[in-house]
Structure 1
């Protein structure tokens, strides 16, 4: 009796097939052949049935995930520069990397349609709960592959062009001016900002992004804005969404099996934000229909509608801008104010630069001025390095790559811990010190920086689509704040909380005095 080994194709394991397999192995790059297997990457022990899911279950997880930088520091201490979490079904296997050269490898091999892990709860909301509204358009946050590419092709010529940002400079300048005018009224007997100053910054950020996304003012800076006003309800919904999505995406997987209170609250706030935003967006669409050609250039929303006759994609883009442009921008402004408060010499250097461009306090700020304020830009970037709003990036491998000497196959989610790397002495001298000068072109440190360590807006084809607008908002507001006032914070180190983003938790009781 003879025994034949049959391959899945039904062909005998003969000489011809063996030669083909050998040729395929030999065709692998030498780096891949020399690398260690994926299964040998250090990481938490995989248990029967539940894999490493226990690391994300309340009561069982070792890491808190409320402070992502500290959590990454602990994981790296336990396992090294590359760490594998496996058995996460229905999630993919996950690899965390703590080496800038590996970060570069990931970005260099992300392909023409880069993929990053989807926000599963948002995906469920748009594809299941509100499928009739979204009609298969997930938005550039969640779309993948060719669908994402189509969206990004429509969005880039609108959002990523300097001329579009320049178009909104006067509007953003006016919003900033209106906010600055309110600061004297915020001060108490100690010249300190109120306990809810954080919420006032949220109002400024929402008003600013509405000018860009909807070409209108929402009235967020109106005096005595009621707690139940539409803008305030939007702000609260956005803040709660970031909090709940962090729990659903990072800290717990229970909601994928049963409808938890957090998941129900997420659906409620997502629906509320959608309903309110949609009303504003439709009003903007209607205004665009009756706008005359001599009333100025097309708005961002109008440009979207001109490029795509289906309004759904434009509506979803405007919705994403409103969602992503509030807490992120206000937190970034808070952080740089804190760093300048702690480093009075840097605040004075920044003031001297701004004064050259704004000899009078009420001089309007132009887009060209911002481009020339190099120290202003450096202060913001240095603040984002030390205390980033987003702690990292993520990509899903679309091909086999080698990271830290290990083979990483396709369809693995790779977490890039920029927040931790940016505080490493390996990449920055005195990494915890606020030194804006390190970002000035031509300086000694700037020339030696690894380009893939600090990336607050991401990298490549999937970098933040609202980057130019966010930078313009931050630069304009910070320039006006420093031109008119001294900023001080006397309450010790700020405490932070990580949701989907990282933000301050203590009251922002800045002492603000006239210059």
Structure 2
């Protein structure tokens, strides 16, 4: 009875808040005679409290896990990116923020993902300094060693990689790369027996549990963001999965940080993210642990999903795969090992990655809470409104790209027939401005290094039963197993 009363009071509070906000928006809209009120902006009908949920659940007009389908079916689209403000804000990872704010003994902030305002800017500025391209370039040799090890791993388990969901293997190599760049630690995710790692129901190894924990958190964030926050009243199943996953990631992050503190830093060794953070006077131990945990959370599946789509597009475009292979072999004969100059000269490899990210960006969208009233499409959108741009929708508009649904890397290379200057805001897979993905440089270099190693040793074709699409979770996930047919190259 008491629980029912609490829920009723919570719903009543939301109703009152909803009508107050709508009234203020109408008043603001009526004061500005040069623009139409926000309440008249075209779009799907929205109801108090439940919003547009009936269109998803009852009428089945939209899908909860195919957000890109919803965006393509809507008649009106506007884009706004000039309203960042000093502290770009967004509404995301609300359950993660609630979990962390309830543990002040471990967290001084809720982390880079959910935090807004001045505190976000402080931590972001200090954590991102070692994540710039120059610093990460010093770790290319370490990333290349992992990529070479993965290629040998594929060769040893050749039958399995042709039979398994290849995504399982990619999760392991990107976990290993995250460990190298962030902690200067080999987690040995490519060393343990293959069958036990992938299929054991009682697996207790660190690599397996980290991959599982990161996946469960990412999978449940959007669900907790888009539904009523009942997890603030009692622990729902999705929130429990987030809590248990985060507790394990915290445990491993703290352990790796303590291991790094006990080591003597050698002057001639490239400095990892953790080396830089520990030497920063502006970061406390809680900030460092939060940053390390978020890199483990965000560094595995964002890369493995992105690489899955890249392999898929190259599998269905053999000419592009051959041109990429020829570029790699030429650079290898000139430079030997992969280096900063090697990657700088890999023009076609970068174009392949950029084109794959255009077609299948890992982010569902770029969202901002407007810091001031904004006129958008002739309508006055009030301060505090959440505006979201869906990357996967606008990047397939024919008005921006010729043959928008085709994989054509040449469109990004100057001098090619298909090349055309495109507004830089059209394709922003890593976000925009000072709030763009902090791991952008790490991800791009890691993906390129692994791609160069793989394409020089293997060719591949698509062996799936249908075309690959995405499922909308917190990030865009392949909607089926990654089935590839590999062939060895002499």
Identify the TM-score tier after normalising by the shorter chain: 0.7 to 0.9
Q: Distance in 2 between matches of 1:422 and 1:64?
A: 20
The match for 1:187 among 158, 179, 186 is: 158
Q: Pick the structure with greater CA Rg.
A: 1
1:285 partnered with 2:261: yes
Q: Deviations over 1:91-120 (max 9, x none)?
A: xxxxxxx33xx2xxx321211211111311
The aligned counterpart of 2:15 is none
1:273 partnered with 2:249: yes
Question: Gaps spanning 5+ residues in structure 2: where?
Answer: 1-27, 198-202
1:112 partnered with 2:86: yes
The aligned counterpart of 1:66 is 65
The match for 2:140 among 164, 169, 183 is: 169
> Would the alpha carbon gap of residues 358 and 494 (structure 1) be closer, same or farther in structure 2, given more than 3 Å must change?
same
RMSD: 2.3
Counterparts of residues 247-266 of structure 1 (less than 5 Å): 247-250=223-226, 253-256=229-232, 258-266=234-242
Q: Distance in 2 between matches of 1:259 and 1:389?
A: 29
The aligned counterpart of 2:117 is 145
Contact 2:171/2:301 (<8 A) preserved = yes
Q: Distance in 1 between matches of 2:161 and 2:187?
A: 27
> Would the alpha carbon gap of residues 503 and 424 (structure 1) be closer, same or farther in structure 2, given more than 3 Å must change?
same
Question: Gaps spanning 5+ residues in structure 1: where?
Answer: 1-24, 82-97
Q: Distance in 1 between matches of 2:46 and 2:63?
A: 19
The match for 1:472 among 440, 445, 456 is: 445
Counterparts of residues 311-322 of structure 1 (less than 5 Å): 311-322=285-296
* TM-score of the aligned structures, taking structure 2 as reference length: 0.87
1:426 partnered with 2:399: yes
Contact 2:139/2:270 (<8 A) preserved = no
Q: In the TM superposition, what is the alpha-carbon distance from 1:258 to its structure 2 partner?
A: 4.3
The aligned counterpart of 1:40 is 40
Q: Distance in 2 between matches of 1:490 and 1:219?
A: 29
SS at match of 2:36: coil
Contact 2:123/2:283 (<8 A) preserved = no
Q: In the TM superposition, what is the alpha-carbon distance from 1:503 to its structure 2 partner?
A: 1.6
Q: In the TM superposition, what is the alpha-carbon distance from 1:353 to its structure 2 partner?
A: 1.0
Task: Report how many residues are paired.
Answer: 451
* TM-score of the aligned structures, taking structure 1 as reference length: 0.82
The aligned counterpart of 2:341 is 368
Q: Deviations over 1:463-507 (max 9, x none)?
A: 111111100000000011111111111323124322111122433
Q: Deviations over 1:69-91 (max 9, x none)?
A: 112223x1xxx32xxxxxxxxxx
> Would the alpha carbon gap of residues 171 and 64 (structure 1) be closer, same or farther in structure 2, given more than 3 Å must change?
same
The aligned counterpart of 2:481 is 507
Q: Deviations over 1:325-371 (max 9, x none)?
A: 000101111111110110001111111111110139x9421122111
SS at match of 1:434: coil
Q: In the TM superposition, what is the alpha-carbon distance from 1:444 to its structure 2 partner?
A: 5.9
Q: Distance in 2 between matches of 1:144 and 1:37?
A: 28
The match for 1:199 among 147, 159, 168 is: 168
> Would the alpha carbon gap of residues 311 and 483 (structure 1) be closer, same or farther in structure 2, given more than 3 Å must change?
same
Query: Which moved further from structure 2: 208-217 or 278-287?
Result: 278-287
